[in-house]
Chain A
């Protein structure tokens, strides 16, 4: 019997050793040579990733699209745009006509030349499908026409000042290639499925990277497009991969193994702190133009009273939020995040002041009957940190005698609640991002009556005066005048206090600073002002990677 026992123990030990040796040896030796595949930038993001410009619009889609497709103009952190596929443009008819002159000799990934017809096709396809970033153009674009091979003209229904800024979302597709891959019997008449099925896993772009492989629910892999018109730095990454895993433990392990270069922005604070301690890893923190709002339902008691809303706004401890719950973020100074062009730095903003809060509350029609009017507050289950914030707001409000009932809700339910005034709670915690980099984007999507019934406006403001002011500002082509009008809207919104603007969000991403050059991280380190539209911070063409330095870390 003891002999058998020893044999079993020996068997277990030998089995374990064989497994470890068998799995480990080869990989370690092989890893010490620099290979072409090591010149890669790998980024984690939430899945799904849509690489079809007619469908994608989320964060992960945007990263994919800006690297695969070219746009007529390219955004700069200060909110301006510079020539890209278009070398120049004319604004005619008081902003009703935009004429673009295309760069000649630009190649699509299959070798075809980019022409004005492709631009016309791309805009028409986007408008016809109606998904993705189409919402930026459906309201204002009347038509688009290729005037000759290299000139394209857009007609607007009415002047739209930030039209150029919104064009950073018009990704140019190769018309011939898409048409060659349409499936008949689709929902778009003679255009069949408009190539939607094919474009789920293929690209028809001219951008710096071309799609090499799409593994559903796992990753998308791109390789460098050698003939890219924008040229290449010798250290530019040869490959780029977007992985659909944001699990903290997986992300942290991949960073430690140098199998990941830049993380997603969705990691818990603790994980960023842990990754920051890994040799060669740094956490880039930068304001991205997003802000967190406590949206107050202005048509439901007691938040229908402006004094009640202001009392709430004055009682919140904003400093505690940006130091303890969302460190690195900045105090909000009004409805528009401060890094966005068109933000007015001169308007007043709410700070914690209990005396003022009590004063406002006394003027409210609900003063003295607060126990009859509890405030319902929803926070998003997918953003766990919001629970701490909701509890802080509850505690702050209790100092005034206001009772807040907190509910945790999946974002899907919050969206469903937002569809009707009656089901929209008194207060909702919601992160908001601009659709293009200008104040007008936030003002329009957040406070114009057309967005009531969506999660972007749970305030149900429905104020004709505000609507007119926003429309007037957006219709102003002159930038200076437009920004002045934005400032007036911001002031009017401050007075109405439909929202408590809690903070301007700081985006955090861990990255391999020892072997990756990332322009956004460099800007963050230098504390440069401004921000780029969603996805453009991950424009891989401008990054650099040093595989030999990576090997030294292994």
Chain B
């Protein structure tokens, strides 16, 4: 297990290295002068030239890459042209905000999806199964931002019970920075009022983001369970008189979860990308929104920083999921994956 883990980490470093070259080149060949874009059309040429020098844009591409890589190794991702701060500072501020949504969203996605899938499989062809299937189809066909708009209209406008903007209500003081996730930090510091407020702000964006993945997880869990229900080994276990509950949890559910976990892992990783529009709609100052703003403004350092962090997250989630799948079905193992 340990050797496999080391192998996967080693391979991941190569993947990230390739990604860094790719994103560095792509971000620099897109038309438009980032220094001019940052300072505006009326800024004098000397000021623009000064910024170009500061960003090393006056140097050859390979020199720019080496300098950027050197900074990356030392934890310095350069300065953002949009926020005018260090990209590292921006990432420290915005990443926890998105992580908070994504974690809650992932919990809703995995547990909600599996729960609905089990119920649907358990009560096949009942009204409950029908209802869950309709919800699942709607979830799959509707992108996250559509759910976000629907939720804002229903729970923000018609039945205004949830906040629809930002991370905290006006007047609520943010908790001291520990992890950067307001819910976690407020719990650590014992500020339950802030926790409730921060949590309320997460509910709608997290559910909107989770809807598609949850629906997919529900569908896959359902069909996988129905598939396994008809297998001979289940019939044999029933014939041996093994309690139904034990068969259900240990022999039916566990193998049925393998495809769900595999697909859900990809969905969870994709949540970071899908979070953009949801963050925009809820005016939530998160990492995904920051990333898109960087791309629209040709904020080179921020683009590279965001993509690298996303790359690390994707790679890490994939490694973790591989281990979970290997645990669920030891026959699969890690070597072949």
Q: Residues of A at under 8 Å CB distance from B?
A: 1, 4-5, 8-9, 20, 23-24, 27, 37, 47-48, 50, 55, 57-58, 129-131, 134-135, 138, 187, 196-197, 200, 215-219, 241, 243-245, 247, 249-250, 252-254, 256-257, 259, 410, 412-413, 415-416, 419, 435, 445, 454-456
CB distance from B130 to the nearest CB of A (A): 12
Q: Which of A216, A416, A456 contacts B285 (CB 8 A)?
A: A216
How many Å lie between the Cα of A131 and that of B50 in the bound state? 11
Q: Which of B90, B119, B149 contacts A216 (CB 8 A)?
A: B90
CB distance from A130 to the nearest CB of B (A): 3
Query: Is A23 in contact with B161, judged by CB distance below 8 angstroms?
Result: yes
How many Å lie between the Cα of A253 and that of B156 in the bound state? 7
Query: Is B165 in contact with A24, judged by CB distance below 8 angstroms?
Result: no
Q: Residues of B at under 8 Å CB distance from A?
A: 31-33, 36-37, 39-44, 46-47, 50, 54, 82-85, 90, 93-94, 119, 122-123, 126, 128, 149, 152-153, 156-157, 159-162, 164-167, 170-171, 200, 203, 280-285, 289-290, 293, 296-298
21 A–B contacts, CB within 8 A, in A order? A5-B126, A8-B128, A20-B159, A23-B203, A37-B170, A48-B83, A57-B42, A130-B44, A130-B46, A134-B44, A216-B94, A218-B166, A218-B167, A247-B283, A250-B165, A250-B283, A253-B157, A412-B296, A454-B41, A454-B42, A455-B41
How many Å lie between the Cα of A113 and that of B159 in the bound state? 50
Query: Is B40 in contact with A57, judged by CB distance below 8 angstroms?
Result: yes
How many Å lie between the Cα of A366 and that of B280 in the bound state? 49
* Chain B residues within an 8 Å CB radius of A55: 84
Contacts A129-B47, A218-B166; is A413 near B42 (CB within 8 Å)? no
Instruction: Work out how many contacts link A and B, with CB atoms closer than 8 A.
Output: 135
Query: Is B44 in contact with A135, judged by CB distance below 8 angstroms?
Result: yes
Extra pairs beyond A216-B94, A247-B283 (17, CB < 8 Å): A5-B128, A23-B161, A27-B161, A37-B170, A50-B84, A130-B50, A135-B42, A197-B84, A197-B85, A215-B166, A243-B165, A245-B165, A249-B152, A412-B37, A416-B32, A416-B33, A455-B41
Query: Is B156 in contact with A130, judged by CB distance below 8 angstroms?
Result: no
* Chain B residues within an 8 Å CB radius of A196: 84
Query: Is B43 in contact with A130, judged by CB distance below 8 angstroms?
Result: yes
Query: Is A131 in contact with B280, judged by CB distance below 8 angstroms?
Result: no
Query: Is B165 in contact with A259, judged by CB distance below 8 angstroms?
Result: yes
Query: Is A247 in contact with B281, judged by CB distance below 8 angstroms?
Result: yes
Query: Is A257 in contact with B293, judged by CB distance below 8 angstroms?
Result: no
Q: Which of B152, B284, B298 has the most CB of A within 10 A?
A: B152
How many Å lie between the Cα of A241 and that of B283 in the bound state? 14
In the complex, the 8 A-B pairs of residues with the closest C-beta atoms, listed nearest first: A130-B47, A245-B283, A24-B161, A135-B42, A217-B285, A218-B285, A412-B32, A454-B41
Query: Is B82 in contact with A48, judged by CB distance below 8 angstroms?
Result: yes
Query: Is A219 in contact with B32, judged by CB distance below 8 angstroms?
Result: no
Query: Is A135 in contact with B165, judged by CB distance below 8 angstroms?
Result: no
How many Å lie between the Cα of A47 and that of B285 in the bound state? 11
Contacts A37-B171, A249-B152; is A200 near B33 (CB within 8 Å)? no
* Chain A residues within an 8 Å CB radius of B32: 412-413, 415-416
CB distance from A410 to the nearest CB of B (A): 8
Contacts A131-B43, A217-B289, A257-B160; is A413 near B31 (CB within 8 Å)? yes
How many Å lie between the Cα of A241 and that of B171 in the bound state? 12
* Chain B residues within an 8 Å CB radius of A219: 166
Q: Tell me the nearest residue of chain B to A418, going by C-beta.
A: B41
CB distance from B158 to the nearest CB of A (A): 9
CB distance from A53 to the nearest CB of B (A): 14
* Chain B residues within an 8 Å CB radius of A410: 296
How many Å lie between the Cα of A23 and that of B128 in the bound state? 27
CB distance from A520 to the nearest CB of B (A): 24
* Chain A residues within an 8 Å CB radius of B94: 216-217
Q: Tell me the nearest residue of chain B to A215, going by C-beta.
A: B285
CB distance from B104 to the nearest CB of A (A): 14
Contacts A217-B289, A250-B282, A259-B165; is A5 near B54 (CB within 8 Å)? no
* Chain B residues within an 8 Å CB radius of A5: 123, 126, 128
Q: Which of B31, B83, B152 has the most CB of A within 10 A?
A: B31
Query: Is B156 in contact with A257, judged by CB distance below 8 angstroms?
Result: yes
Query: Is B164 in contact with A250, judged by CB distance below 8 angstroms?
Result: yes
Contacts A20-B161, A187-B54; is A415 near B283 (CB within 8 Å)? no
* Chain A residues within an 8 Å CB radius of B33: 415-416, 419
Q: Which of A27, A187, A250, A445 contacts B281 (CB 8 A)?
A: A250
How many Å lie between the Cα of A24 and that of B42 in the bound state? 50
CB distance from B222 to the nearest CB of A (A): 15
Query: Is B156 in contact with A131, judged by CB distance below 8 angstroms?
Result: no
* Chain A residues within an 8 Å CB radius of B123: 1, 5
* Chain B residues within an 8 Å CB radius of A218: 166-167, 283-285
Q: Tell me the nearest residue of chain B to A219, going by C-beta.
A: B166
Query: Is A412 in contact with B298, judged by CB distance below 8 angstroms?
Result: yes
Query: Is B164 in contact with A253, judged by CB distance below 8 angstroms?
Result: yes
Query: Is B44 in contact with A217, judged by CB distance below 8 angstroms?
Result: no
How many Å lie between the Cα of A50 and that of B39 in the bound state? 12
Query: Is B152 in contact with A250, judged by CB distance below 8 angstroms?
Result: yes
Query: Is A456 in contact with B41, judged by CB distance below 8 angstroms?
Result: yes
Query: Is A23 in contact with B200, judged by CB distance below 8 angstroms?
Result: yes
* Chain A residues within an 8 Å CB radius of B171: 37
CB distance from B267 to the nearest CB of A (A): 23
How many Å lie between the Cα of A47 and that of B162 in the bound state? 24
How many Å lie between the Cα of A481 and that of B297 in the bound state? 43
Query: Is A131 in contact with B47, judged by CB distance below 8 angstroms?
Result: yes
CB distance from B115 to the nearest CB of A (A): 9
Query: Is A47 in contact with B31, judged by CB distance below 8 angstroms?
Result: no
* Chain A residues within an 8 Å CB radius of B149: 249
How many Å lie between the Cα of A55 and that of B81 in the bound state? 12
Query: Is A257 in contact with B166, judged by CB distance below 8 angstroms?
Result: no
* Chain A residues within an 8 Å CB radius of B160: 24, 27, 257
CB distance from B77 to the nearest CB of A (A): 16
Query: Is B31 in contact with A416, judged by CB distance below 8 angstroms?
Result: yes
Q: Tell me the nearest residue of chain A to B290, going by C-beta.
A: A217
Q: Tell me the nearest residue of chain B to A4, going by C-beta.
A: B122
Query: Is B82 in contact with A249, judged by CB distance below 8 angstroms?
Result: no
CB distance from A12 to the nearest CB of B (A): 9
Contacts A5-B126, A259-B165; is A415 near B293 (CB within 8 Å)? no
Query: Is B90 in contact with A249, judged by CB distance below 8 angstroms?
Result: no
Q: Tell me the nearest residue of chain A to B156, going by C-beta.
A: A253
How many Å lie between the Cα of A241 and that of B170 in the bound state? 10
Q: Which of B160, B167, B289, B298 has the most CB of A within 10 A?
A: B160
CB distance from A428 to the nearest CB of B (A): 13
* Chain A residues within an 8 Å CB radius of B85: 197, 200, 216
* Chain B residues within an 8 Å CB radius of A23: 161-162, 200, 203
Query: Is B170 in contact with A131, judged by CB distance below 8 angstroms?
Result: no
Q: Tell me the nearest residue of chain B to A47, going by C-beta.
A: B293
CB distance from B71 to the nearest CB of A (A): 16
Query: Is B281 in contact with A249, judged by CB distance below 8 angstroms?
Result: yes
Contacts A9-B128, A196-B84, A415-B32; is A254 near B164 (CB within 8 Å)? yes
* Chain B residues within an 8 Å CB radius of A4: 122
* Chain A residues within an 8 Å CB radius of B44: 130, 134-135, 138
Query: Is A415 in contact with B36, judged by CB distance below 8 angstroms?
Result: yes
* Chain A residues within an 8 Å CB radius of B281: 247, 249-250
CB distance from B320 to the nearest CB of A (A): 29
Q: Which of B43, B83, B280, B283 contacts A134 (CB 8 A)?
A: B43
